Amino acid sequence: MDLPHYSDANFTMRLSYGQVGGYMIGGFNSGYYTTAESIVEKFKQADKIADYKAEPIMISLLSSNNFGKYADKTSGKMQLCFLTNNDITGGNSGSPMFNGKGELIGLAFDGNWDSLSSDINFDRNLARCIGVDIRFVLYMMDKWGHADRLIKEINAK
């Protein structure tokens, strides 16, 4: 007997929905986004932690105090990544993430540590999908990649 089963993201169409937001773990509020400031602080620790080493151009771009149209209008900061309570599984990386108005806000690329078991037992309180903020993607395309024609072609706003 063929029973219904959870869809396989590598072989079926799939849609996940949720809300942007952080979560509480061990009495700590994760917040829901990271900023350019936070990664610049990590760059400063590169002499101690090799994973934090970056090319000088990245340090320069992310140390900027003016991200122009790519900055978040509420905080004025460059938001890099954000959390949602969407489900994510293998094969979902690169999937578009839309807001309630159908506007592209990011691309899904990972899950937090607490979501590793989500394929078996999804825990809405702990599992988080990590998305890269589309404004950061566009900023990098513009300032680092100098992809003016591509930005114009996709009609990025």
Question: What per-residue confidence (pLDDT) applies to 115?
Answer: 67
Cα-to-chain-centroid distance, residue 108? 6
Q: For residues 139 and 36, what is the distance between their CA atoms, to the nearest angstrom?
A: 11
- CA torsion angle for 27, 35, 96, 13 (degrees, to 10)? -30
Counting beta carbons within 10 angstroms of the beta carbon of residue 35, is it exposed (0 to 12), middle (13 to 18) or buried (19 or more)? buried
Question: What per-residue confidence (pLDDT) applies to 23?
Answer: 83
Question: What per-residue confidence (pLDDT) applies to 4?
Answer: 72
Domains, the chain, in order of start with CATH, read 24-153 (2.40.10)
Per-residue pLDDT 10s for the chain (157 aa) are 677 766 665 655 567 778 898 888 888 888 899 999 999 999 999 999 999 999 999 999 999 988 999 999 999 999 999 999 887 777 778 889 999 999 999 999 987 777 666 666 667 777 888 899 999 999 999 999 999 999 999 998 7
**Residue 157: strand, helix, or coil:** coil
Would you state the structure tokens that stand for residue 42, as one six-digit string? 């990590």
The DSSP call for residue 132 is E
Question: What per-residue confidence (pLDDT) applies to 30?
Answer: 85
Question: What per-residue confidence (pLDDT) applies to 88?
Answer: 75
Would you state the structure tokens that stand for residue 136, as one six-digit string? 């950061």
**Cβ–Cβ under 8 Å, residues 136 and 67:** no
Hey, how many other C-beta atoms are within 10 angstroms of the C-beta on 74?
7
